[in-house]
Structure 1
Amino acid sequence: MSKEILQRLDQLSQAALASGDLLPVQAQEEQLQDQGLSFFVRWVSTLAAKDAASVSIPGGPRDPNFNPFLPPAPALTVDDVSATHNIVLNKFAVCDLHLVLADKVFSEQLHPLRAIDFRALADFLAEQGGLGFYNGGAAAGASQRHKHTQWIPAAVGNGSLALYLDKLPAQAAPGTAHRHPDLAFEHCFVRLLDTQDATVLSDSLLQAYRLACTELDLVPGADDLLPAHNMLAGQGWLFAVPRSVELVEGISVNALSYAGCIYVRTPEQIERVRQIGPLGVLAQAAYANTQHS
Protein backbone atom coordinates (compact mmCIF):
# COMPACT_ATOMS: atom_id res chain seq x y z
CA MET A 1 0.00 0.00 0.00
CA SER A 2 1.70 3.17 -1.17
CA LYS A 3 2.19 6.34 0.83
CA GLU A 4 -0.03 8.01 -1.76
CA ILE A 5 -2.97 5.90 -0.57
CA LEU A 6 -2.34 6.87 3.05
CA GLN A 7 -2.19 10.51 2.01
CA ARG A 8 -5.52 10.10 0.22
CA LEU A 9 -6.96 8.48 3.33
CA ASP A 10 -5.70 11.31 5.52
CA GLN A 11 -7.20 13.91 3.17
CA LEU A 12 -10.48 11.99 3.09
CA SER A 13 -10.46 11.81 6.89
CA GLN A 14 -9.98 15.56 7.27
CA ALA A 15 -12.76 16.30 4.79
CA ALA A 16 -15.13 13.82 6.45
CA LEU A 17 -14.44 15.30 9.88
CA ALA A 18 -15.17 18.76 8.56
CA SER A 19 -18.44 17.63 6.96
CA GLY A 20 -19.57 15.59 9.97
CA ASP A 21 -19.51 12.30 8.06
CA LEU A 22 -16.69 11.11 10.36
CA LEU A 23 -16.95 11.53 14.12
CA PRO A 24 -14.00 12.90 16.10
CA VAL A 25 -12.41 10.53 18.61
CA GLN A 26 -12.51 11.65 22.22
CA ALA A 27 -11.35 9.28 24.92
CA GLN A 28 -11.05 8.84 28.67
CA GLU A 29 -8.65 6.12 29.66
CA GLU A 30 -6.67 4.41 32.37
CA GLN A 31 -3.67 2.13 32.02
CA LEU A 32 -3.82 -1.09 34.05
CA GLN A 33 -1.21 -3.79 34.63
CA ASP A 34 -2.08 -7.45 34.88
CA GLN A 35 0.63 -10.13 35.28
CA GLY A 36 3.17 -7.73 33.80
CA LEU A 37 1.02 -6.99 30.74
CA SER A 38 -0.07 -3.40 30.15
CA PHE A 39 -3.65 -2.62 29.06
CA PHE A 40 -5.45 0.58 28.14
CA VAL A 41 -9.05 0.63 29.34
CA ARG A 42 -10.71 3.34 27.30
CA TRP A 43 -14.09 5.01 26.99
CA VAL A 44 -14.39 6.42 23.47
CA SER A 45 -17.05 8.91 22.43
CA THR A 46 -17.52 7.33 19.00
CA LEU A 47 -18.64 4.02 20.53
CA ALA A 48 -21.27 5.80 22.60
CA ALA A 49 -22.43 7.45 19.36
CA LYS A 50 -22.52 4.04 17.67
CA ASP A 51 -24.81 2.68 20.38
CA ALA A 52 -27.10 5.71 20.05
CA ALA A 53 -27.21 5.39 16.26
CA SER A 54 -28.40 1.78 16.50
CA VAL A 55 -31.58 2.75 18.35
CA SER A 56 -32.18 6.47 17.97
CA ILE A 57 -33.65 6.59 14.48
CA PRO A 58 -37.15 7.49 13.28
CA GLY A 59 -39.49 4.53 13.60
CA GLY A 60 -37.51 2.68 16.24
CA PRO A 61 -34.38 0.49 16.32
CA ARG A 62 -32.31 0.00 13.17
CA ASP A 63 -33.17 -2.92 10.92
CA PRO A 64 -30.86 -5.77 12.05
CA ASN A 65 -30.23 -6.54 8.36
CA PHE A 66 -29.03 -2.99 7.66
CA ASN A 67 -25.73 -3.19 5.80
CA PRO A 68 -23.50 -0.08 5.86
CA PHE A 69 -21.04 -1.69 3.42
CA LEU A 70 -23.45 -2.14 0.48
CA PRO A 71 -22.82 0.47 -0.58
CA PRO A 72 -20.35 2.13 1.81
CA ALA A 73 -20.69 5.85 2.45
CA PRO A 74 -18.97 7.72 -0.44
CA ALA A 75 -17.58 10.35 1.93
CA LEU A 76 -15.72 7.63 3.85
CA THR A 77 -14.55 5.43 0.96
CA VAL A 78 -11.29 5.59 -0.98
CA ASP A 79 -11.92 4.72 -4.62
CA ASP A 80 -9.84 2.53 -6.93
CA VAL A 81 -7.63 0.93 -4.29
CA SER A 82 -8.65 -2.73 -4.42
CA ALA A 83 -10.54 -4.86 -6.93
CA THR A 84 -12.05 -7.00 -4.19
CA HIS A 85 -12.52 -4.73 -1.17
CA ASN A 86 -13.83 -1.28 -0.36
CA ILE A 87 -11.41 0.66 1.84
CA VAL A 88 -13.60 2.63 4.21
CA LEU A 89 -12.86 4.99 7.09
CA ASN A 90 -14.62 3.58 10.15
CA LYS A 91 -17.34 6.10 11.04
CA PHE A 92 -17.14 4.91 14.64
CA ALA A 93 -13.35 4.94 14.80
CA VAL A 94 -11.33 4.19 17.92
CA CYS A 95 -8.28 6.06 16.55
CA ASP A 96 -7.19 8.14 13.56
CA LEU A 97 -7.17 6.26 10.22
CA HIS A 98 -9.14 3.31 11.60
CA LEU A 99 -10.03 1.44 8.41
CA VAL A 100 -12.62 -1.16 7.42
CA LEU A 101 -11.67 -3.47 4.54
CA ALA A 102 -15.07 -4.71 3.37
CA ASP A 103 -15.91 -7.17 0.60
CA LYS A 104 -17.37 -5.50 -2.47
CA VAL A 105 -19.96 -8.30 -2.58
CA PHE A 106 -21.81 -9.80 0.37
CA SER A 107 -20.23 -12.71 2.20
CA GLU A 108 -21.02 -13.88 5.73
CA GLN A 109 -18.61 -12.60 8.36
CA LEU A 110 -18.15 -16.10 9.78
CA HIS A 111 -17.16 -17.74 6.51
CA PRO A 112 -13.44 -18.61 6.86
CA LEU A 113 -11.11 -15.78 5.89
CA ARG A 114 -9.78 -16.22 2.35
CA ALA A 115 -6.67 -15.34 0.39
CA ILE A 116 -8.30 -12.13 -0.88
CA ASP A 117 -9.09 -11.03 2.69
CA PHE A 118 -5.48 -11.44 3.74
CA ARG A 119 -4.20 -9.75 0.59
CA ALA A 120 -6.27 -6.67 1.42
CA LEU A 121 -4.78 -6.64 4.93
CA ALA A 122 -1.26 -7.39 3.72
CA ASP A 123 -1.33 -4.37 1.44
CA PHE A 124 -1.33 -2.25 4.61
CA LEU A 125 0.63 -4.46 7.00
CA ALA A 126 3.59 -5.13 4.68
CA GLU A 127 4.61 -1.49 4.22
CA GLN A 128 2.87 0.39 7.01
CA GLY A 129 2.89 -2.09 9.91
CA GLY A 130 0.13 -1.44 12.40
CA LEU A 131 -2.44 -4.06 13.34
CA GLY A 132 -4.92 -5.99 11.24
CA PHE A 133 -7.82 -7.63 13.02
CA TYR A 134 -11.06 -9.50 12.54
CA ASN A 135 -14.13 -9.95 14.72
CA GLY A 136 -15.50 -13.31 13.59
CA GLY A 137 -19.16 -13.30 14.56
CA ALA A 138 -21.38 -11.51 17.05
CA ALA A 139 -19.88 -13.35 20.03
CA ALA A 140 -16.46 -12.02 18.95
CA GLY A 141 -17.64 -8.40 18.81
CA ALA A 142 -18.77 -8.10 15.19
CA SER A 143 -21.64 -5.67 14.67
CA GLN A 144 -22.10 -6.45 10.95
CA ARG A 145 -22.64 -9.73 9.07
CA HIS A 146 -20.97 -8.44 5.89
CA LYS A 147 -17.44 -9.83 5.81
CA HIS A 148 -14.79 -7.28 6.70
CA THR A 149 -11.45 -7.01 8.42
CA GLN A 150 -10.04 -3.86 9.99
CA TRP A 151 -6.70 -2.07 10.25
CA ILE A 152 -5.27 0.58 12.55
CA PRO A 153 -1.87 2.27 12.18
CA ALA A 154 1.01 1.90 14.59
CA ALA A 155 0.77 4.73 17.13
CA VAL A 156 1.23 5.25 20.85
CA GLY A 157 -1.86 3.91 22.61
CA ASN A 158 -3.17 1.93 19.65
CA GLY A 159 -3.77 -1.80 19.92
CA SER A 160 -0.72 -3.96 19.23
CA LEU A 161 0.58 -7.46 19.83
CA ALA A 162 3.78 -5.93 21.22
CA LEU A 163 2.60 -6.50 24.81
CA TYR A 164 3.03 -10.27 24.32
CA LEU A 165 6.42 -10.34 22.61
CA ASP A 166 8.68 -10.76 25.65
CA LYS A 167 7.08 -14.17 26.40
CA LEU A 168 7.03 -15.42 22.79
CA PRO A 169 10.13 -17.02 21.24
CA ALA A 170 11.95 -14.29 19.32
CA GLN A 171 13.66 -16.82 17.04
CA ALA A 172 10.53 -18.84 16.28
CA ALA A 173 10.46 -20.23 12.77
CA PRO A 174 7.79 -18.82 10.46
CA GLY A 175 4.72 -21.02 10.36
CA THR A 176 5.14 -22.45 13.88
CA ALA A 177 2.41 -22.30 16.53
CA HIS A 178 2.99 -21.16 20.12
CA ARG A 179 1.13 -20.42 23.35
CA HIS A 180 1.74 -17.51 25.72
CA PRO A 181 2.42 -18.74 29.28
CA ASP A 182 0.43 -15.98 31.00
CA LEU A 183 -2.84 -16.40 29.10
CA ALA A 184 -5.36 -18.64 30.87
CA PHE A 185 -7.66 -18.91 27.85
CA GLU A 186 -7.52 -20.89 24.62
CA HIS A 187 -5.41 -19.11 22.00
CA CYS A 188 -2.74 -19.63 19.38
CA PHE A 189 0.13 -17.48 18.12
CA VAL A 190 1.69 -18.31 14.75
CA ARG A 191 4.94 -16.74 13.61
CA LEU A 192 4.76 -14.84 10.31
CA LEU A 193 7.39 -14.33 7.64
CA ASP A 194 9.36 -11.11 8.04
CA THR A 195 8.73 -9.42 4.71
CA GLN A 196 7.57 -6.17 3.12
CA ASP A 197 6.30 -8.01 0.06
CA ALA A 198 2.50 -7.91 0.31
CA THR A 199 2.03 -11.05 -1.78
CA VAL A 200 4.45 -13.07 0.34
CA LEU A 201 2.98 -11.74 3.58
CA SER A 202 -0.54 -12.50 2.37
CA ASP A 203 0.41 -16.15 1.84
CA SER A 204 2.08 -16.28 5.26
CA LEU A 205 -1.04 -14.81 6.91
CA LEU A 206 -3.34 -17.29 5.20
CA GLN A 207 -1.22 -20.30 6.18
CA ALA A 208 -0.86 -19.01 9.74
CA TYR A 209 -4.62 -18.52 10.04
CA ARG A 210 -5.33 -22.03 8.77
CA LEU A 211 -2.82 -23.48 11.21
CA ALA A 212 -4.33 -21.52 14.12
CA CYS A 213 -7.81 -22.74 13.19
CA THR A 214 -6.53 -26.32 13.14
CA GLU A 215 -4.75 -25.92 16.48
CA LEU A 216 -7.89 -24.45 18.06
CA ASP A 217 -10.35 -26.84 16.42
CA LEU A 218 -12.13 -23.98 14.63
CA VAL A 219 -13.91 -26.09 12.03
CA PRO A 220 -16.74 -24.92 9.74
CA GLY A 221 -20.14 -26.42 10.53
CA ALA A 222 -22.75 -27.68 8.10
CA ASP A 223 -23.54 -24.07 7.18
CA ASP A 224 -19.84 -23.50 6.29
CA LEU A 225 -19.57 -20.99 9.14
CA LEU A 226 -16.78 -21.10 11.72
CA PRO A 227 -17.32 -20.80 15.47
CA ALA A 228 -16.87 -17.26 16.78
CA HIS A 229 -13.26 -16.13 17.04
CA ASN A 230 -10.93 -13.16 16.83
CA MET A 231 -7.89 -12.91 14.59
CA LEU A 232 -5.16 -10.31 14.98
CA ALA A 233 -2.02 -9.83 12.87
CA GLY A 234 0.96 -7.59 13.43
CA GLN A 235 4.40 -7.30 14.99
CA GLY A 236 5.44 -10.52 13.26
CA TRP A 237 2.65 -12.71 14.60
CA LEU A 238 -0.88 -13.89 13.93
CA PHE A 239 -2.97 -14.36 17.09
CA ALA A 240 -6.28 -16.23 17.21
CA VAL A 241 -8.75 -16.62 20.10
CA PRO A 242 -11.96 -18.71 20.07
CA ARG A 243 -14.79 -16.75 21.66
CA SER A 244 -17.61 -17.85 23.93
CA VAL A 245 -19.47 -14.56 24.55
CA GLU A 246 -19.24 -10.92 23.51
CA LEU A 247 -20.20 -9.33 26.85
CA VAL A 248 -18.50 -9.73 30.21
CA GLU A 249 -20.68 -8.02 32.82
CA GLY A 250 -21.90 -5.63 30.15
CA ILE A 251 -18.40 -4.92 28.78
CA SER A 252 -18.07 -5.62 25.05
CA VAL A 253 -14.94 -7.59 24.17
CA ASN A 254 -13.59 -7.61 20.62
CA ALA A 255 -10.28 -8.24 18.86
CA LEU A 256 -8.73 -4.98 20.07
CA SER A 257 -9.34 -6.07 23.66
CA TYR A 258 -6.85 -8.88 23.00
CA ALA A 259 -4.41 -6.29 21.62
CA GLY A 260 -4.24 -4.42 24.92
CA CYS A 261 -7.12 -1.95 24.42
CA ILE A 262 -10.40 -2.70 26.17
CA TYR A 263 -13.06 -0.26 24.98
CA VAL A 264 -15.96 0.36 27.34
CA ARG A 265 -19.37 1.94 26.69
CA THR A 266 -19.47 4.03 29.87
CA PRO A 267 -16.73 5.59 32.01
CA GLU A 268 -18.07 3.59 34.98
CA GLN A 269 -17.11 0.34 33.27
CA ILE A 270 -13.43 1.30 33.58
CA GLU A 271 -13.68 0.62 37.30
CA ARG A 272 -15.37 -2.74 36.64
CA VAL A 273 -12.46 -3.80 34.43
CA ARG A 274 -10.10 -2.81 37.24
CA GLN A 275 -12.02 -5.03 39.67
CA ILE A 276 -12.13 -8.07 37.39
CA GLY A 277 -8.67 -7.46 35.91
CA PRO A 278 -8.03 -7.08 32.16
CA LEU A 279 -6.88 -10.69 31.77
CA GLY A 280 -9.94 -11.84 33.71
CA VAL A 281 -12.19 -9.99 31.27
CA LEU A 282 -10.42 -11.56 28.29
CA ALA A 283 -10.58 -15.04 29.85
CA GLN A 284 -14.32 -14.80 30.61
CA ALA A 285 -15.02 -13.85 26.97
CA ALA A 286 -13.03 -16.85 25.68
CA TYR A 287 -12.62 -20.50 26.76
CA ALA A 288 -10.53 -21.76 29.64
CA ASN A 289 -7.13 -23.14 28.72
CA THR A 290 -7.01 -26.46 30.53
CA GLN A 291 -3.23 -26.70 30.00
CA HIS A 292 -2.54 -23.35 31.71
CA SER A 293 -0.96 -23.65 35.12
Structure 2
Amino acid sequence: MERAERFWAEALERSRHALGSGNLVPLETELIPPQGWEPFQLRRLLSATPKHLRAQGPKPNPFRPWDPQLQVCLLGRRHLLLLNKYPVQAGHVLLITQGYEPQSGWLKGGDWSAVARVDADTSGLWFFNSCAEAGASQPHRHLQLLPRHGDQVACPLDRLVRAQLAGVGRHWPWAYKLSPRKPGDGAEALAATYHAHALSLGLGDPGSDPRPLHPYNLIFTDHWFLTVRRVREHVAGFSVNALGFAGYLLLSERSELAWLQREGPWALLQAVAARG
Protein backbone atom coordinates (compact mmCIF):
# COMPACT_ATOMS: atom_id res chain seq x y z
CA MET A 1 0.00 0.00 0.00
CA GLU A 2 1.59 3.25 -1.19
CA ARG A 3 1.14 6.22 1.12
CA ALA A 4 1.68 9.92 0.48
CA GLU A 5 3.40 10.38 3.89
CA ARG A 6 2.35 14.02 4.07
CA PHE A 7 1.98 13.87 7.85
CA TRP A 8 5.50 12.48 8.18
CA ALA A 9 6.93 15.19 5.91
CA GLU A 10 5.12 17.88 7.93
CA ALA A 11 6.40 16.36 11.18
CA LEU A 12 9.99 16.48 9.90
CA GLU A 13 9.58 20.09 8.76
CA ARG A 14 8.02 21.10 12.07
CA SER A 15 10.87 19.28 13.87
CA ARG A 16 13.48 21.43 12.14
CA HIS A 17 11.83 24.60 13.41
CA ALA A 18 11.23 23.19 16.91
CA LEU A 19 14.86 22.10 17.20
CA GLY A 20 16.01 25.58 16.31
CA SER A 21 13.77 27.16 18.93
CA GLY A 22 14.66 24.65 21.63
CA ASN A 23 11.10 23.32 21.89
CA LEU A 24 12.19 19.85 20.79
CA VAL A 25 14.61 17.87 22.95
CA PRO A 26 15.62 14.61 21.21
CA LEU A 27 16.87 11.88 23.50
CA GLU A 28 20.59 11.32 22.99
CA THR A 29 21.36 7.60 23.14
CA GLU A 30 23.93 5.07 21.99
CA LEU A 31 23.30 1.53 20.84
CA ILE A 32 24.96 -1.04 23.10
CA PRO A 33 26.46 -3.94 21.13
CA PRO A 34 24.45 -7.15 21.59
CA GLN A 35 25.53 -9.33 24.49
CA GLY A 36 23.23 -12.27 23.96
CA TRP A 37 19.97 -10.32 23.90
CA GLU A 38 19.35 -10.33 20.14
CA PRO A 39 17.04 -9.44 18.46
CA PHE A 40 16.33 -6.80 21.13
CA GLN A 41 17.97 -3.41 20.78
CA LEU A 42 19.34 -1.86 23.98
CA ARG A 43 20.23 1.81 23.95
CA ARG A 44 21.99 3.73 26.70
CA LEU A 45 20.50 7.11 27.58
CA LEU A 46 23.26 9.73 27.33
CA SER A 47 21.27 12.93 27.80
CA ALA A 48 19.73 14.03 31.08
CA THR A 49 16.88 11.81 32.14
CA PRO A 50 13.69 13.54 30.95
CA LYS A 51 10.98 14.29 33.48
CA HIS A 52 8.70 11.55 32.20
CA LEU A 53 11.34 8.90 33.06
CA ARG A 54 12.10 10.17 36.56
CA ALA A 55 10.59 9.09 39.87
CA GLN A 56 6.82 8.86 39.86
CA GLY A 57 4.77 11.71 41.28
CA PRO A 58 2.07 14.25 40.42
CA LYS A 59 2.61 15.63 36.94
CA PRO A 60 1.11 18.57 35.08
CA ASN A 61 -0.64 18.02 31.77
CA PRO A 62 1.67 19.27 28.97
CA PHE A 63 -1.12 18.94 26.39
CA ARG A 64 -3.51 21.40 28.01
CA PRO A 65 -2.70 23.61 26.33
CA TRP A 66 -0.29 21.93 23.94
CA ASP A 67 2.81 23.68 22.67
CA PRO A 68 1.90 25.27 19.31
CA GLN A 69 5.55 24.97 18.25
CA LEU A 70 5.12 21.18 18.34
CA GLN A 71 1.77 21.04 16.51
CA VAL A 72 1.92 19.13 13.23
CA CYS A 73 -1.74 19.43 12.24
CA LEU A 74 -5.30 19.38 13.54
CA LEU A 75 -7.38 16.30 12.79
CA GLY A 76 -10.89 17.70 12.85
CA ARG A 77 -12.14 19.23 16.09
CA ARG A 78 -11.23 16.47 18.54
CA HIS A 79 -7.71 15.24 17.75
CA LEU A 80 -4.36 16.52 16.51
CA LEU A 81 -0.86 15.35 15.69
CA LEU A 82 1.84 16.72 17.95
CA LEU A 83 5.60 16.20 17.94
CA ASN A 84 6.85 14.22 20.91
CA LYS A 85 8.94 16.73 22.86
CA TYR A 86 11.45 13.96 23.68
CA PRO A 87 11.51 11.98 20.42
CA VAL A 88 13.25 8.64 20.07
CA GLN A 89 13.55 9.19 16.29
CA ALA A 90 12.92 11.98 13.80
CA GLY A 91 9.22 12.37 13.09
CA HIS A 92 8.08 10.72 16.35
CA VAL A 93 4.53 12.00 16.78
CA LEU A 94 1.71 11.80 19.28
CA LEU A 95 -1.94 11.59 18.36
CA ILE A 96 -3.73 13.38 21.21
CA THR A 97 -7.26 14.51 22.00
CA GLN A 98 -7.73 18.28 21.85
CA GLY A 99 -9.93 18.21 24.94
CA TYR A 100 -8.97 16.25 28.00
CA GLU A 101 -9.65 12.51 27.89
CA PRO A 102 -7.98 10.20 30.42
CA GLN A 103 -5.16 7.97 29.23
CA SER A 104 -6.51 5.34 31.61
CA GLY A 105 -9.95 5.28 29.95
CA TRP A 106 -11.06 3.16 27.01
CA LEU A 107 -10.05 4.21 23.51
CA LYS A 108 -13.20 5.25 21.67
CA GLY A 109 -14.49 5.18 18.12
CA GLY A 110 -13.29 8.73 17.50
CA ASP A 111 -9.77 7.79 18.58
CA TRP A 112 -9.71 4.92 16.10
CA SER A 113 -11.07 7.16 13.34
CA ALA A 114 -8.20 9.57 13.96
CA VAL A 115 -5.69 6.70 13.93
CA ALA A 116 -7.12 5.42 10.65
CA ARG A 117 -6.92 8.87 9.09
CA VAL A 118 -3.23 9.21 9.95
CA ASP A 119 -2.49 5.58 9.08
CA ALA A 120 -3.93 5.98 5.59
CA ASP A 121 -1.25 8.61 4.90
CA THR A 122 1.66 7.75 7.21
CA SER A 123 2.06 4.36 8.84
CA GLY A 124 4.65 2.71 11.02
CA LEU A 125 4.86 1.39 14.55
CA TRP A 126 1.89 2.56 16.62
CA PHE A 127 1.86 2.10 20.39
CA PHE A 128 -0.25 2.98 23.41
CA ASN A 129 0.47 2.81 27.14
CA SER A 130 -2.81 2.64 29.03
CA CYS A 131 -1.68 4.16 32.34
CA ALA A 132 1.40 4.71 34.52
CA GLU A 133 1.67 0.99 35.33
CA ALA A 134 1.92 0.31 31.59
CA GLY A 135 4.53 3.01 30.99
CA ALA A 136 2.38 6.09 30.30
CA SER A 137 4.09 9.31 31.32
CA GLN A 138 1.14 11.67 30.89
CA PRO A 139 -2.52 11.45 32.02
CA HIS A 140 -3.91 13.02 28.81
CA ARG A 141 -4.89 10.53 26.09
CA HIS A 142 -2.24 10.00 23.46
CA LEU A 143 -1.19 7.27 21.06
CA GLN A 144 2.31 7.35 19.59
CA LEU A 145 3.60 6.69 16.08
CA LEU A 146 7.14 5.96 14.90
CA PRO A 147 6.77 6.37 11.11
CA ARG A 148 8.15 3.73 8.78
CA HIS A 149 8.39 3.52 5.00
CA GLY A 150 6.65 0.52 3.49
CA ASP A 151 9.87 -1.46 2.99
CA GLN A 152 11.23 -0.83 6.50
CA VAL A 153 11.13 -3.38 9.33
CA ALA A 154 8.69 -2.04 11.90
CA CYS A 155 10.62 -3.11 15.02
CA PRO A 156 13.20 -5.64 16.29
CA LEU A 157 10.57 -8.27 17.17
CA ASP A 158 8.61 -7.91 13.92
CA ARG A 159 9.96 -11.16 12.44
CA LEU A 160 9.09 -13.14 15.58
CA VAL A 161 5.59 -11.66 15.70
CA ARG A 162 4.97 -12.54 12.07
CA ALA A 163 6.28 -16.07 12.70
CA GLN A 164 3.69 -16.50 15.42
CA LEU A 165 0.93 -15.40 13.05
CA ALA A 166 2.21 -17.93 10.51
CA GLY A 167 2.01 -20.67 13.13
CA VAL A 168 5.77 -21.34 13.26
CA GLY A 169 6.89 -19.09 16.12
CA ARG A 170 7.04 -19.80 19.83
CA HIS A 171 4.37 -18.32 22.06
CA TRP A 172 5.29 -16.05 24.95
CA PRO A 173 4.55 -16.96 28.58
CA TRP A 174 2.63 -13.79 29.42
CA ALA A 175 -0.93 -12.63 28.85
CA TYR A 176 -1.23 -11.23 25.35
CA LYS A 177 -3.40 -11.38 22.27
CA LEU A 178 -2.06 -11.16 18.73
CA SER A 179 -4.11 -10.76 15.56
CA PRO A 180 -3.22 -10.23 11.90
CA ARG A 181 -3.97 -6.88 10.35
CA LYS A 182 -4.42 -6.01 6.71
CA PRO A 183 -2.83 -2.79 5.38
CA GLY A 184 -5.53 -0.18 5.14
CA ASP A 185 -7.78 -1.67 7.81
CA GLY A 186 -9.93 1.23 8.90
CA ALA A 187 -11.38 2.47 12.16
CA GLU A 188 -14.05 -0.21 12.44
CA ALA A 189 -11.59 -3.08 12.02
CA LEU A 190 -9.15 -1.52 14.50
CA ALA A 191 -11.89 -0.92 17.06
CA ALA A 192 -13.21 -4.46 16.64
CA THR A 193 -9.76 -5.98 17.23
CA TYR A 194 -9.22 -3.74 20.27
CA HIS A 195 -12.60 -4.79 21.69
CA ALA A 196 -11.97 -8.50 21.09
CA HIS A 197 -8.51 -8.35 22.68
CA ALA A 198 -9.84 -6.54 25.75
CA LEU A 199 -12.46 -9.21 26.33
CA SER A 200 -10.01 -12.07 25.71
CA LEU A 201 -7.43 -10.69 28.19
CA GLY A 202 -9.93 -9.89 30.93
CA LEU A 203 -9.36 -6.15 30.60
CA GLY A 204 -13.11 -5.60 30.60
CA ASP A 205 -15.70 -4.65 28.01
CA PRO A 206 -15.06 -1.30 26.29
CA GLY A 207 -18.77 -1.14 25.55
CA SER A 208 -20.02 -1.45 29.10
CA ASP A 209 -17.28 -1.24 31.74
CA PRO A 210 -16.53 2.34 32.83
CA ARG A 211 -12.76 1.83 32.59
CA PRO A 212 -10.24 -0.97 31.94
CA LEU A 213 -9.76 -3.39 34.80
CA HIS A 214 -6.01 -3.84 34.27
CA PRO A 215 -3.06 -1.95 32.72
CA TYR A 216 -2.17 -2.87 29.14
CA ASN A 217 -0.11 -1.95 26.09
CA LEU A 218 -1.07 -1.83 22.42
CA ILE A 219 1.45 -2.19 19.58
CA PHE A 220 0.32 -2.42 15.96
CA THR A 221 1.63 -2.13 12.43
CA ASP A 222 0.28 -2.72 8.93
CA HIS A 223 0.52 -6.46 9.52
CA TRP A 224 -0.31 -7.19 13.15
CA PHE A 225 -2.05 -5.92 16.28
CA LEU A 226 -0.71 -6.90 19.72
CA THR A 227 -2.22 -6.29 23.16
CA VAL A 228 -0.30 -7.12 26.36
CA ARG A 229 -1.75 -7.16 29.86
CA ARG A 230 0.59 -5.56 32.41
CA VAL A 231 1.15 -5.79 36.15
CA ARG A 232 3.96 -3.27 36.73
CA GLU A 233 5.95 -0.58 34.94
CA HIS A 234 9.53 -1.46 35.85
CA VAL A 235 11.90 -4.11 37.12
CA ALA A 236 15.63 -3.94 37.93
CA GLY A 237 15.54 -0.21 37.22
CA PHE A 238 14.30 -0.69 33.63
CA SER A 239 11.17 1.29 32.75
CA VAL A 240 9.19 -0.73 30.21
CA ASN A 241 6.42 0.67 28.06
CA ALA A 242 4.87 -0.77 24.90
CA LEU A 243 8.16 -0.39 23.00
CA GLY A 244 9.70 -3.08 25.20
CA PHE A 245 7.30 -5.61 23.67
CA ALA A 246 8.40 -4.38 20.24
CA GLY A 247 12.04 -5.12 21.12
CA TYR A 248 13.32 -1.67 22.18
CA LEU A 249 14.90 -1.33 25.65
CA LEU A 250 16.43 1.75 27.29
CA LEU A 251 19.27 1.71 29.80
CA SER A 252 19.06 4.71 32.14
CA GLU A 253 21.13 5.64 35.17
CA ARG A 254 18.78 3.53 37.34
CA SER A 255 18.91 0.40 35.20
CA GLU A 256 20.82 -2.70 36.34
CA LEU A 257 22.73 -3.84 33.27
CA ALA A 258 24.15 -6.82 35.18
CA TRP A 259 20.60 -8.03 35.84
CA LEU A 260 19.75 -7.87 32.13
CA GLN A 261 22.98 -9.65 31.20
CA ARG A 262 22.18 -12.40 33.70
CA GLU A 263 18.42 -12.82 33.21
CA GLY A 264 17.93 -11.64 29.62
CA PRO A 265 15.27 -9.43 27.99
CA TRP A 266 12.58 -12.11 27.88
CA ALA A 267 12.71 -12.36 31.67
CA LEU A 268 12.40 -8.57 31.84
CA LEU A 269 9.19 -8.62 29.82
CA GLN A 270 7.83 -11.58 31.75
CA ALA A 271 8.41 -9.69 35.02
CA VAL A 272 6.31 -6.69 33.99
CA ALA A 273 3.53 -8.52 32.12
CA ALA A 274 0.67 -10.55 33.58
CA ARG A 275 1.09 -14.31 33.54
CA GLY A 276 -0.37 -16.06 30.55
| TM-score (structure 2 length as normaliser) | 0.86
Q: Residues 170-198 of structure 1: CA distance to partner in whole angstroms, max 9, x if unpaired? A: 4xxxxxxx996341111100122332xxx
Q: Residues 217-271 of structure 1: CA distance to partner in whole angstroms, max 9, x if unpaired? A: 1116998221210011114111000100001122101000000101232386444
Unaligned runs of 5+ in 1: 56-60, 171-177
What letter matches 1:8 in structure 2?
E
- For residues 142-153 of structure 1, what are the structure 2 equivalents within 5 Å? 142-153=136-147
Counterpart for residue 58 of structure 1: none
- Picking from 169, 187, 196, the partner of 1:202 is 187
CA distance in 2: counterparts of 1:11 and 1:25, whole angstroms? 18
CA distance in 2: counterparts of 1:179 and 1:81, whole angstroms? 40
What letter matches 1:19 in structure 2?
S
- For residues 127-276 of structure 1, what are the structure 2 equivalents within 5 Å? 127-154=121-148, 159=155, 162-170=158-166, 181-195=170-184, 200-219=185-204, 224-226=210-212, 227-266=214-253, 269-276=256-263
The 3-state SS of whatever aligns with 2:120 is helix
Q: Residues 8-29 of structure 1: CA distance to partner in whole angstroms, max 9, x if unpaired? A: 2111101111111101332122
Counterpart for residue 285 of structure 1: 272
CA distance in 2: counterparts of 1:125 and 1:240, whole angstroms? 18
Counterpart for residue 49 of structure 2: 48
Moved over 6 A (4+): 155-158
The 3-state SS of whatever aligns with 1:189 is strand
Answer yes or no: is the 8 Å Cα contact 2:127–2:143 preserved in 1: yes
Unaligned runs of 5+ in 2: none
When residues 135 and 194 of structure 1 are mapped into structure 2, their CA distance, relative to the original with a 3 A threshold, is same
| TM-score (structure 1 length as normaliser) | 0.81
- For residues 18-57 of structure 1, what are the structure 2 equivalents within 5 Å? 18-30=20-32, 31=34, 33=36, 38-45=39-46, 48-50=49-51
What letter matches 1:137 in structure 2?
C
Per mean C-alpha deviation after superposition, the further-off stretch among 259-268 and 112-121 is 259-268
What letter matches 1:3 in structure 2?
E
When residues 32 and 86 of structure 1 are mapped into structure 2, their CA distance, relative to the original with a 3 A threshold, is farther
Answer yes or no: is the 8 Å Cα contact 2:8–2:147 preserved in 1: no
When residues 219 and 166 of structure 1 are mapped into structure 2, their CA distance, relative to the original with a 3 A threshold, is closer
Matched, 1:78 2:72: yes
The 3-state SS of whatever aligns with 2:165 is coil
Task: Kindly report the root-mean-square deviation, in angstroms, between the aligned alpha carbons of the 2 structures.
Answer: 2.9
When residues 142 and 266 of structure 1 are mapped into structure 2, their CA distance, relative to the original with a 3 A threshold, is same
The 3-state SS of whatever aligns with 1:105 is coil
- For residues 55-94 of structure 1, what are the structure 2 equivalents within 5 Å? 64-94=58-88
The 3-state SS of whatever aligns with 2:94 is strand
Answer yes or no: is the 8 Å Cα contact 2:74–2:81 preserved in 1: no
